[in-house]
A = this chain, B = another copy of it.
Amino acid sequence: MNDESYDLESMLTLMKDVYENHMPFNKLLGVKIVTLELDDICVRIDMREDFIGNFIKNILHGGVISSILDFTGGLVASMGMIKQMNDATSQEIMDRIAKVGTIDLRVDYLRSGKGDYFTATGFLLRTGKKVAVVRTEFRNNEDILIAAGTSSYIVG
């Protein structure tokens, strides 16, 4: 393992800490980053009573889903950006990641948000110098697809 890969690992550990513990809305929702690697992202959220959106059907509010899909897509876009910044320092990468912003988001609500916990994953459709586009999926603990997202991000 060379110096560079070590730096990457440290940086991803730092990012994970920042996103989980220093981003207040993620903390409010209890968002956990299960996997944060350049080519593999998994975000988890545990069902809680105060996430219920429909008290008759006892299902997750759509806003929890869109929040997680937006966040997951942003992580995927950030990883794609890091992969393109070959000779950059950690500081340069962190500075650029801090500027990643969602341009727009589409969420398709496919099935009722029932489950004990939920995981979100995503993959890059495209990344460029300015814009990245990501597709995301939101599944419950039985691996049932609850919602799907497509979002675009400004990355430069």
A-side residues, CB < 8 A to B, are 22-29, 49-56, 61-64, 66-68, 70-71, 98, 101-111, 125-126, 130-131, 133, 135, 145, 148, 150, 152, 154
SS of A interface (majority): mixed
17 contacts between A and B (CB under 8 A): A29-B63, A62-B70, A63-B66, A63-B67, A63-B71, A102-B109, A103-B152, A104-B104, A104-B106, A104-B152, A105-B106, A108-B126, A108-B133, A108-B150, A110-B133, A125-B148, A130-B154
Nearest to A124 among chain B residues (CB) is B110
CB of A12 to closest CB in B, whole Å? 18
A63 and B55 contacting across the interface, CB-CB below 8 Å: no
Q: Can you name the residue of chain B whose Cβ is closest to the Cβ of A49?
A: B24
Q: Which residues of B contact A104 (CB under 8 A)?
A: 104, 106-109, 133, 150, 152
* Interchain CA distance A131-B131 in the complex, whole Å: 9
The smallest C-beta distance from A144 to any residue of chain B, in angstroms, reads 11
